[in-house]
Amino acid sequence: MSAVLFDAAANVMPVVGADARSAGASEASSTGKPAAVAAGSIRFQAVEKIYVSSVGPVKALTDITIDVPAGSIFGIIGRSGAGKSSMLRTINRLERPTSGQVLVDGADISTFNEDQLVALRRRVGMIFQHFNLLSAKTVFANVALPLVVAGVPKQEVKERVAEVLKLVGLGGKENTYPSRLSGGQKQRVGIARALVSRPEILLCDEATSALDPETTLSILSLLKDINRRLGLTIVLITHEMSVIREICDHVLVLEAGRIAETGRVWEVFGNPRHEATRSLLKPLDRGLPEDLAGRLDSQWSGKPATALVEFTYTGVGGLQPDLGRLFAVLGDGTNIIQSNLDRIQGHVSGRLIVATAARSDLHHLIANPDLAHAARIIGYDATDV
């Protein structure tokens, strides 16, 4: 119970009127928030986090330096134990960095006193993997809790709760108890509770990990819509690249507490540079069918055979598959075997595998830079001629 009440208090914002954002100027003196910095901006500067355990110090984060643009959807991904949760929880100072700075709206939150910390947590909402709802309270009471704790007048609470429940698609569910809701509906309640105080930053701690694939997509769609409508910054952690692809503008890959790779999502997906990134992307990459892979020879015997050619696209420079050009270069009888292409933020990336007649000049033909960013012959099949 105490943990849930703490989270609720962290989502309280005393200003609930339409002019909440305009309160930023007067708030600056009490929170240390510079007026010139965009609301919702986050910066990590040389952040380290070390936990003390019975077996000695455990380093969770090392030299984390990164900017989270205001109004963006920023994804943090990594394997179990990579430091994702530790990094996320430094943003509202549920975790205090051992060294370094976390700046929210330009202010170093490690220097905040108790009053400033309370004000920070009023600007930062949080949703959780397992919803953290109070089972004995209705949907209305769960969502209203942060406002009730803040002492907001009842009429304002009623109006604001109705507003956010409509936003998350739960209008008419005010008197329903959590036990009567699906997993997706429970998470929508959690999102509504996080939004009821009009935060400028929303933290998502594995918010879809407990949901089925269809419900996951609906929650991600809701978060995108909230970002678009309200302009708030969303920072989410996940271990699934499919979540990053679906919703994020930028991604940071953590490996053993260090930044392995970071960039816009299309850049990281199109040209992953670190082994950890490639490993996390592997579940999205369909390999060759086993029956076909088992027939391939690595060398061409010089006899009639079919060559399998892989064309790779990184999204750079607007280059994407041009089937007319590809077939013109490779000739009649060329067929598409497999396509694993994706369009992310307007950039096409992935790979295209085609079958074409083996020939002595094939390596030269596929090296044409107008066809793809990279190309290679996967192997030769003498049985499919």
Answer yes or no: is pLDDT of 210 > 80. yes
Residues 278, 130 share a domain: yes
- Residue 312, beta-bridge partner list: 351, 374
Of 228, 255, 282, the residue at which a domain comes to its end is 282
Residues 191, 114 share a domain: yes
* Stretch among 29-43, 132-146, 167-181 having the lowest mean pLDDT: 29-43
Residues 277, 198 share a domain: yes
Res 21: pLDDT: 36
**CA 119, CA 363: separation in Å to the nearest integer?**
63
CATH number where 125 lies = 3.40.50.300
Res 36: pLDDT: 61
Answer yes or no: is pLDDT of 12 > 70. no
CATH number where 334 lies = 3.30.70
- Residues ≥6 apart with Cβ < 8 Å to 373: 312, 313, 314, 316, 319
Strands ordered across the beta sheet of 73-78: 124-128, 201-205, 233-238, 73-78, 250-255, 258-264
* Stretch among 6-10, 66-70, 239-243, 271-275 having the lowest mean pLDDT: 6-10
Res 216: pLDDT: 93
Q: What is the CA radius of gyration of the chain?
A: 25
Look over the chain and give the mean of its residue pLDDT values, rounded to a whole number: 89
Q: What is the pLDDT of residues 266-277, one digit of tens each?
A: 999 999 999 999
Nearest to 109 by CA among 193, 37, 164: 37
Residues 324, 223 share a domain: no
Residue range 53-62: mean pLDDT, rounded? 93
At 35, which helix (H) or strand (E)?
Answer: none
Higher-scoring residue by pLDDT: 9, 256:
256
Answer yes or no: is pLDDT of 303 > 80. yes
Residues 250, 115 share a domain: yes
Domain with 368, as residue range(s), is 290-381
> Backbone phi, then psi, for 49, in 5-degree steps?
-135, 120
Of 219, 251, 282, the residue at which a domain comes to its end is 282
Residues 172, 93 share a domain: yes
Domain count, the chain: 2
Percentage of residues in the chain having pLDDT higher than 70: 90
**CA 381, CA 379: separation in Å to the nearest integer?**
7
Q: What is the pLDDT of residues 211-224, one digit of tens each?
A: 999 999 999 999 99
* Max Cα–Cα distance, the chain, nearest Å: 84
Of 282, 299, 332, the residue at which a domain comes to its end is 282
Residues 299, 273 share a domain: no
**pLDDT band at 144; cut points 50, 70, 90:** very high
Res 382: pLDDT: 86
At 340, which helix (H) or strand (E)?
Answer: strand 335-344
One DSSP character per residue, 237-277 reads: EES-HHHHHHH-SEEEEEETTEEEEEEEHHHHHHS--SHHH
End-to-end Cα distance, the chain: 69
- Residues ≥6 apart with Cβ < 8 Å to 382: 297, 301, 303, 304, 305, 306
Residues 267, 193 share a domain: yes
Q: What is the pLDDT of residues 283-295, one digit of tens each?
A: 988 888 888 888 9
Residues 260, 373 share a domain: no
> Backbone phi, then psi, for 21, in 5-degree steps?
-65, -35
Residues 162, 117 share a domain: yes
Res 122: pLDDT: 85
Residue range 103-114: mean pLDDT, rounded? 94
Residues 255, 371 share a domain: no
Residues 346, 198 share a domain: no
Percentage of residues in the chain having pLDDT higher than 90: 79
